[in-house]
Structure 1
Amino acid sequence: MSGRVVVIGVGNPLRGDDGVGPAAVEGLRGRVPDGTVLTVSDGEPARMLDLWDGADTVVVVEALRAGLARPGRLHTLTAADAASRTAGTASTHALGLGASLALAEALDRLPPTLVVHAVEAADVELGAHLSEPVRSALPELIDRVAASVRQAHGRDGEQ
């Protein structure tokens, strides 16, 4: 195993709460071990697979839409949980993480470890800023992602 850890902030900063993934990645700079790849994506499945290619651990950060949403509520999901929870309309993106995971599974390109840290969105309108509940949840979201990255680096160091 390479020990490569990739953090992908999924979203569009010009669409309100959909920008929480990129905002979290920005907040991680200087807070994660050297060698951690910090990147952003619009969530298009083929690009997602390219971003995590060769990684042992992938941490995805994004906004979710839920039926009975509680904006700002945080979730930590496994790949299997994310595939079922982000199917259909749960993601804020046209295709969403569920499509990326399905494609990766079909092509045998799922990383050995994939964790999703997500926050429930309130507003994803074009031109909006992060809503107050999501902005308030951002520090804890960044802390959770940083902890996942440190854990991944520790696990890789033990191998």
Structure 2
Amino acid sequence: MSGRVVVIGVGNPLRGDDGIGPAAVEALRGRVPADTVLAVSDGEPGRLLDLWRGADTVVVVEALRTRPARPGALHTLTLAEAVGHHRGTASTHGFGLGDCLALAEALDLLPPRLVVHAVEVADVELGTRLSEAVRSALPALTDRAAASVRRAHARNHAP
């Protein structure tokens, strides 16, 4: 095991609430151990697989569209939950995280540990502003991601 911890903020900051993943990664700077890899991705599966290659723990932070929508509602999902949860919901990206996880599983490229922190979104239209509900959820979302990173580092450095 490498002990490598990677946080990936998935989304596009130019599409309103879809920018929550990248915003959370920015908010994590200085709040997690220096050897934590902080990255942003547009959600394209090949790039995601490349970003988490060799990682022991991957924390994904992203936007989630649900029906009915509850903008600002937070979700924390394990790998198994993420695959099942995303089948019933729509990603804000063309190729959803559930699809990417299925591909990674087929290619034997899943990380040993993966957790997804997601916030339900309202608006993913062109624009650079997060909606009030999603912006208000950012501190709690960032806290959840930071706690996942701390737990991963504690596991990696346990005797």
Which position in structure 1 is the counterpart of 2:142? 142
**Equivalent position of 1:58 in the other structure:** 58
> Is 2:17–2:131's contact at 8 Å kept on the other side of the alignment?
yes
In structure 1, the partner of 2:133 is: 133
Report what 2:67 is aligned to: 67
Equivalent in the alignment of 1:46: 46
Q: Which secondary structure state, in structure 2, belongs to the residue aligned with residue 14 of structure 1?
A: coil
Q: Which deviates more, 83-92 or 143-152?
A: 83-92
Mapped to 2, the partners of 1:53 and 1:6 lie a distance apart of 9
State the aligned residue count.
159
Q: CA deviation at 1:99?
A: 1.4
- Deviation of the 1:148 alpha carbon: 0.3
- State the shift of 1:14 in Å: 0.3
Deviation at 1:41, TM superposition (A): 0.2
Q: Which amino acid letter does the alignment assign opposite residue 110 of structure 2?
A: L
Aligned letter for 1:132? E
Alignment-derived partner of residue 26 in structure 1: 26
Counterpart position of 1:153: 153
Give the match for residue 107 of structure 2: 107
Does residue 8 (structure 1) correspond to residue 27 (structure 2)? The answer is: no
Q: Distance in 2 between matches of 1:67 and 1:9?
A: 23
Q: Distance in 2 between matches of 1:68 and 1:5?
A: 33
Gap runs ≥5 in structure 2:
none
Cα distance in 1, alignment partners of residues 68 and 56 from structure 2: 34
For residue 128 of structure 1, report the CA deviation from its aligned partner: 4.7
Deviation at 1:89, TM superposition (A): 4.7
Q: Where in structure 1 do 4 or more consecutive aligned residues deviate above 4 Å?
A: none
Query: Residue 92 of structure 1: CA displacement?
Result: 0.5
Amino acid at match of 1:53: R
CA RMSD of aligned residues (A): 1.0
Deviation at 1:83, TM superposition (A): 1.0
Which amino acid in the other structure matches residue 86 of structure 1?
H
Aligned-partner Cα distance in 2 for 1:89–1:128: 24
Secondary structure of 2:87's aligned partner: coil
